[in-house]
Structure 1
Amino acid sequence: MKIRSIYMASLAVGLLLGSCSKEFLEKTPQGQLGEGQVSNGEGIEAVLLGAYSIMNGNVSGSWGNYASAPSQWVFGEMTSDNAHKGSEETDQPNMNLLEMLNPNPANDNLTTMWQVYFEGVLRSNTTLKLIKQDQQGGKDITAARALEIEAEARMLRGHYYFFMWRIFRNLPWIDENTTLEESKTKPNDVDIYDKIIEDVKFAADNLPVSKIKGEAGRMDKNIAKAYLGKLYLYQKKYDLAFPLFKEVIAGKDISNMPFQDNFDVEKEDGPEALLVSKHAINPNGSADNANVGDMLSGIYAAPVSCCGFYQPTIDLVNAYKVDANGLPYLEGEYRINPYKSDLGLSGTAKTNYELDVTLRIDPRLDYTVGRRGVPFLDYGVMPGDSWIRSASFAGPFVGIKTMIKQSQFASNTVAGEAYITGLDVNIMRLADVYLMAAECAVELNDLPSALNYVNAVRLRAAKLPVKMVDGKSVANYQVKPYTTFPTQDYARKAVRMERRLELALEGHRYFDLVRWGIAKTVLESYSAFEGTHLPFYKGLSYKSYNDYFPIPQTEIDRSGGTLKQNDGY
């Protein structure tokens, strides 16, 4: 593995603004500098910001960062029952292999993920090394600030490693004490998960409650607590995770936090935001700090005109159906008489297609998925196939959560490239924590608490504004709270479905299915259903080693064979 030089990032004088500003990101690479040039207070702070900058999954440039996107759409959604790669079958064929769970070690998406996030690890390590040297020497930084910097850097390192651990599992642990020569041949034969927990626990113990310098995007104590709870949840240590989630939730009423605000570029850093990848269009109009990871997900037609990837599945859309009580179908009944929009129609039937306004659905569908006949942000009514590159390949639907309003283009997109936006990505938001708390409560057999957490999320969903055309609702919108969780098994299914509905297309689904141990059952069943409507997706076979992905062959070669390939690949 290659150790890169430090890419120093600095904030311009006077741009240290408050919690609702993007200037935290508007930094310019200053070239490759030696450690001696940054071994002072200002330099160490700049190197720390350089470590933060990897949160947007980008080292430099704009194109090609899709696999490392903070939204994790490639590994967390496209590989699941929620999303297709989209576009055309011949476009980005290595993504097709990932989606059908047939990756090989030469897949460039794996290399991108590995190299970008190890760059984040290395920048975090450099920060830790420099702050240690400062405290042992002239102490240009106060002891209190030094502790905060260490906590920030370790939180970042824990995050970068966790993102890689979910995908690769077997990783070499490289920290600030690892020498350059050691790093080149560090083996990946020991599970590093406890090391990740150590980093995040240190952050939870030492980060302040308030954002450092009042800057949005900084790590804080609540983020670290929620993240630590998530790490315990993956280990099924519900008794350790649950109290942390409750501490983060305490005093916060999610039912009064508008769902749609989480995906509005003008309403970022709101009360639901926790761990956020901050994005901004640079002052010179360039895209390095923008949301380049999600740029392919733009609609194919004007006014975006690129790129037609990341399309919601037919299965996901139908999962938003509700029964007569306004509750979701927990046993797959939503697949009966599936809604497919105008897929498969031709001629006058296609031209004269009319939206079924009697369709009984959870309103979150139309704030997550664009479908023909329904208003799409401020673009007008979604027209169908003209927004899609190949509906016969990847279906008739498009995503909404990665898009911004047309009226916001001037200040929040790259000129002439409206598919590159300044929209932030919520890596972890409060609803996620509510539902992780509900999951813990179920597994600890505290069903009343689980019911309360799930219903708080559903009550918020019920407040979504009705979408209308010509003064009439475009669907029979219904979402009601559960009256009871009669059994632990029922509660478990309800919580898992709620995570799908609330967090769809936010990077969680595949990892949830794997950690629940149901990925094979769910994905093979989904493939059989989806494949009857879109033939490319039929025949998916989930193997035990699909719980993770192969180590990039380029990295094994660079290590001289010290890194060992994951079983099955």
Structure 2
Amino acid sequence: MYKRIYYILAIVFMLLATACSKEFLKKQPQGELSEEQISSSNGVEATLIGAYSILNGNVSGTWGNYSAAPSQWLFGEVPSDNAHKGSEATDQPEMSMIENFTTISDNPNLSRMWQVYYEGVLRCNNTLRKLAADQAGMKEVSVARAKEIQGEARMLRGHYYFFLWRVFRHIPIVPESVTTMQEAMGIENNQDVTAAIEQDFKFAIENLPVTKINNQYGRMDKNIARAYLGKLYLYQKKYPQALALFKEVMAGKDLTTMSFAHNFDITKENGPEALMVSKHAINANGSADNANIGDMLSGLHENTPVGCCGFYQPTIDLVNAYQVGDDGLPLAPANYRAKPYISDLKTDANAYTLDVSLKFDPRLDYTVGRRGVAYLDYGIMLGRTWIRDMNYAGPFLGIKTMIPMALFATHAVPGANYITGLDVNIIRLADVWLMAAECEVEANNLPAALKLVNDVRLRAAKLEAKKTATGEDAAAYLVKPYPAFASQEAARLAVRTERRLELAMEGHRFFDLVRWGIAKETLESYAAFEGSFLPAYKDVQYQASHDYWPIPQVEIDRSNGALKQQ
């Protein structure tokens, strides 16, 4: 994990070229740079690109990076009421342990998460150390550019630490002065890492431009730093400080004019809602190192155009959360669970008919694939034949991680259509809108919160209806703005519900439940409902210790006692 990283001259040439979008992240090792080369201006820039490359959760190889995915689907959605691990009960059983809170410290998904993001921290530190050497010596990097590089590296480092802190909570801080594996392994995990993250984000705010450096959309910038520091403050319940930052990010923007669907459309990337994004691309030779490999298992079952792998399925509860009343507002869980829609789970395959009279928020069919409804350009979703084991993980499929079949040739790995170049939004503007709404609720400024929530809902109302095989609307789609919030508690519930509906399957839900302090009540209630249809999820018991995961045992062993399980 703490190996010295060398980067090839090809990376430098790509960096210096006028690249845009995903191009500046492409890396294909062909040789090593000498210490003199890596200490040059080009070498500093190359180490920075190496630090960026960890954003997609991959150090090397393709398979096995699922827990380090920038979408954080395995830690942020699967343990929540939004998603199942999917596939079959015997496939990737270590993921099932994460879903049902029986994880132990030797789970390989934990060690992968730890190792990838500490590799990211190390690469950021390498960049900062090389830059300091340049500024103390030859000064090949201009003073202005040096500040930007520091801002980029520290923004990335803060992100990597935040991901680690959110999953493991008690983590060590690795100083820039640490250069060897032995030194790093001796660092204890008894410090407040949030203070270090805060300082990194503050430095990034002060030293990064608002516009993208070199017009490269994957670069860190001032608004990303503002949004992320606001998010950190939100987790700490520092609502006024968070809100001030969110307002700076939102200033001059109108979410209602932006397309919800474009956030998951590979042909519409780099749009106005994209804030912090993990950029992905299929390399010219067809290799997948820079692709969206973290989400590759969410490809559909082998009987579909994707051909693999059948994981990451939306829950029955999530689908029903999109039910609305006659007023176009979400139903309470007790109401939608009283008469749930379960597609063809309990119906003979040849006898099933889609009920198009059901009232749903239209975001449902842009988030979930369900039988009888058009699925991208694959045709009508066929139900059971598209799913690995419906009786284990339910009758629904995800959509947000998929690309159209017509784009496989240009945006997927040849012969592996489940590995694509689709970007992943780490923070998008609607997320900021709803975090700001949360802050307004906690300040009891209900009119301001109402405006922000309704912006999100008004945008959702513009979505085009999905169709059935006969061309009719697949549901009685309806979504309306809230007329008012009757109380602070009603507003709080509305914001939390809206975050679920808007951001479902994007890696936020479990972490939201934990920081709101409602994980136990929500997940045990959900498990009782979900388990009545899918027995594998029936008796989930949640404890306070489940708010975060154990430190990998292999890391504790390597530390010779410096790391403590807490």
| TM-score (ref. length: structure 2) | 0.97
Could you tell me whether the CA contact under 8 Å between 1:378 and 1:407 is conserved in 2?
Answer: yes
State the match for 2:386 in structure 1.
387
Report Cα offsets for 1:405-435 as digits up to 9, x if no partner. 0011110000000000000000000000000
Task: Report if the CA contact (8 A) 2:12-2:45 is conserved.
Answer: no
Change (3 A) 1:125 1:93: same
Counterpart in 1 of 2:433?
434
1:348-497 maps to which residues of 2 (within 5 A)?
350-469=349-468, 470-497=470-497
3-state SS of the aligned residue for 1:419? strand
Match of 2:326 among 324, 335, 338: 324
Q: What is the Cα deviation at residue 17 of structure 1?
A: 3.9
Residues 6, 38 of structure 2: 8 Å contact kept? no
Residues 185 and 559, structure 2, Cα contact 8 Å, conserved in 1: yes
Aligned to 2:253: 252
Once the two structures are TM-superposed, the CA of residue 562 in structure 1 deviates from its matched residue by: 1.1
Distance in 2 between the 1:480 and 1:220 partners? Answer: 35
> Matches of 1:383 and 1:156 in 2, distance apart?
42
After superposition, the Cα gap between the structure-2 partners of 1:78 and 1:377, relative to the gap in structure 1 and judged at 3 Å, is: same
Shift of 1:402: 0.2
Question: Residue 192 of structure 1: CA displacement?
Answer: 1.1
Opposite residue 425 of structure 1, the aligned amino acid is: V
SS at match of 1:8: coil
Displacement after TM superposition at 1:5 (Å): 1.6
* Rounded Cα–Cα distance in structure 1 between residues aligned with 2:412 and 2:61: 15
Is contact 1:24-1:216 (8 Å) kept? no
State the match for 2:210 in structure 1.
209
Aligned CA distance change for structure 1 residues 217 and 332 (closer, same or farther; 3 Å)? farther
> Compared with structure 1, are the counterparts of its residues 536 and 7 closer, same or farther at alpha carbon in structure 2 (3 Å cutoff)?
farther
Q: Any residues of structure 2 matched to 1:232-243 within 5 Å, and which? A: 232-243=233-244
In the TM superposition, residue 7 of structure 1 has moved relative to its aligned partner by: 3.9
Amino acid in the other structure paired with 1:371: R
* Aligned residue type for 1:476: A
1:553 corresponds in structure 2 to 553
1:178 aligns with 2:182: no
Does the residue aligned with 2:554 lie in a helix, a strand or coil? helix
Give the Å deviation of 1:31: 4.3
Unpaired runs of 5+ residues, structure 2, are none
Q: Distance in 1 between matches of 2:517 and 2:254?
A: 31
Matched, 1:544 2:544: yes
Matched residue of 1:418: which SS? strand
Secondary structure of 2:67's aligned partner: coil
Residues in 2 aligned to 1:25 and 1:380: alpha-carbon distance in whole angstroms: 34
Deviation at 1:178, TM superposition (A): 2.7
Pick which of 183-192 and 537-546 moved more: 183-192
Partner of 2:146: 146
**How far apart are 1:16 and its partner, in Å?**
3.4
Partners of 2:92 and 2:275 in 1: CA distance:
32
Between stretches 176-185 and 118-127, larger displacement belongs to 176-185
Superimposed CA distance per residue, residues 290-327 of structure 1 (whole angstroms, 9 cap, x where no aligned partner): 00000000010231110000000000000000011000
CA distance in 2, matches of 1:378, 1:534: 30
- 1:12 deviates by 4.0
Which range moved further: 165-174 or 10-19?
Answer: 10-19
Higher mean alpha-carbon deviation, 70-79 vs 298-307, is at 298-307
**How far apart are 1:15 and its partner, in Å?**
7.6
Q: In the aligned structure 1, how far is the partner of 2:337 from the partner of 2:538?
A: 16
Alignment of 1:61-100 (within 5 A): 61-100=61-100
For 2:227, the aligned partner's letter is: A
Match of 1:336 among 328, 338, 342: 338
- TM-score, normalising length from structure 1? 0.97
Report the CA distance shift for 1:129/1:154 in structure 2 as closer, same or farther (over 3 A): same
Instruction: Report the 3-state secondary structure (helix = DSSP H, G, I; strand = E; otherwise coil) of the residue aligned with 2:153.
Output: helix
Q: CA shift at 1:208, angstroms?
A: 0.4
Match of 1:310 among 309, 312, 319: 312
Change (3 A) 1:250 1:281: same
**Distance in 2, Cα, partners of 1:163 & 1:13:** 28
Instruction: Check whether the contact 2:218–2:276 (CA below 8 A) recurs between aligned residues.
Output: yes
Q: Is the 8 A contact 1:16 1:215 kept in 2?
A: no
SS in 1 for 2:25: coil
1:448-503: per-residue Cα shift (whole Å, max 9, x none)? 11000000000000000011232311100000000101100000000000000000
CA distance in 2, matches of 1:466, 1:16: 43
Say whether the 8 Å CA contact 1:57–1:69 is kept in structure 2. yes
Q: Which residue of 1 aligns with 2:44?
A: 44
* Residues 117-136 of structure 1 deviation map (CA, whole Å, 9 limit, x = unaligned): 00000000000001111111
Question: Which residue in the other structure is 2:296 paired with?
Answer: 295
Task: Give distance in 1, aligned partners of 2:521 and 2:505.
Answer: 20
Count of matched residue positions in the alignment of Structure 1 and Structure 2: 561
1:146 CA displacement: 0.2
Q: By how many angstroms is 1:183 displaced?
A: 1.4
Note if contact 2:321-2:333 (Cα within 8 Å) is conserved in structure 1: no
Q: Which residue identity does 2:299 align to in structure 1? A: G
C-alpha separation in 2, matches of 1:7 and 1:325? 60
Residue equivalent to 2:505: 505
Give the C-alpha shift of residue 329 in structure 1: 1.7
Tell me the secondary structure at the aligned position of residue 310 of structure 1: strand
CA distance in 2, matches of 1:449, 1:34: 56
Q: CA deviation at 1:257?
A: 0.7
Change (3 A) 1:330 1:175: farther
Q: Please state how far the C-alpha of 1:445 moved relative to its aligned partner.
A: 0.7
Cα 1:17–1:412 change in 2 (3 A) is farther
Give the Cα–Cα distance (whole angstroms) in 2 for the partners of residues 318 and 552 of structure 1. 36
Match of 1:272 in 2: 273
Aligned equivalent of 1:528: 528
C-alpha separation between the residues in 1 aligned to 2:280 and 2:227?
22
Q: CA RMSD in A?
A: 1.2
Give the aligned partner of residue 166 of structure 1: 166
User: Does the CA-based 8 Å contact 1:69-1:293 persist in structure 2?
Assistant: yes
Instruction: State the match for 2:220 in structure 1.
Output: 219
Per-residue deviation, 1:34: 5.2
Structure 1 position 336, deviation (Å): 1.2
Q: Is the 8 A contact 1:7 1:29 kept in 2?
A: no
1:27 Cα shift? 2.2
Q: Which residue identity does 1:274 align to in structure 2?
A: L
Deviating more after overlay: 460-469 vs 525-534: 460-469
User: 157-166 vs 7-16, which deviates more?
Assistant: 7-16
Check conservation: 1:7, 1:30, Cα contact below 8 A: no
CA contact (8 A) 1:330 1:493 kept: no
Distance 1:205 1:89, change over 3 A: same
Q: What is aligned with 1:109? A: 109
SS class of match (1:186): coil
Q: Is the 8 A contact 1:466 1:473 kept in 2?
A: yes
- 1:256 corresponds to which letter in structure 2? T
- C-alpha distance in 2, partners of 1:545/1:330? 28
Determine the C-alpha separation between the residues in 2 that align with 1:221 and 1:30. Answer: 34
Q: Aligned with 2:23: secondary structure?
A: coil
CA contact (8 A) 2:12 2:46 kept: yes
**Separation in 1 of the partners of 2:251 and 2:502?**
20
Spell out, residue by residue over 1:3-47, the C-alpha distance to the aligned partner (whole angstroms, 9 max, x if none).
11214261545883454x321222222445454330010111011
* Equivalent residues in 2 for 1:30-41, closer than 5 Å: 30-31=30-31, 33=33, 35-41=35-41
The one-letter amino acid of 1:506's match is E
Question: Which residue of 1 is the match for residue 23 of structure 2?
Answer: 23
Whether the aligned pair in 2 keeps the contact of 1:513 and 1:519 (CA below 8 Å) is: yes
Deviation at 1:179, TM superposition (A): 4.3
1:508-519 to 2 correspondences below 5 Å? 508-519=508-519
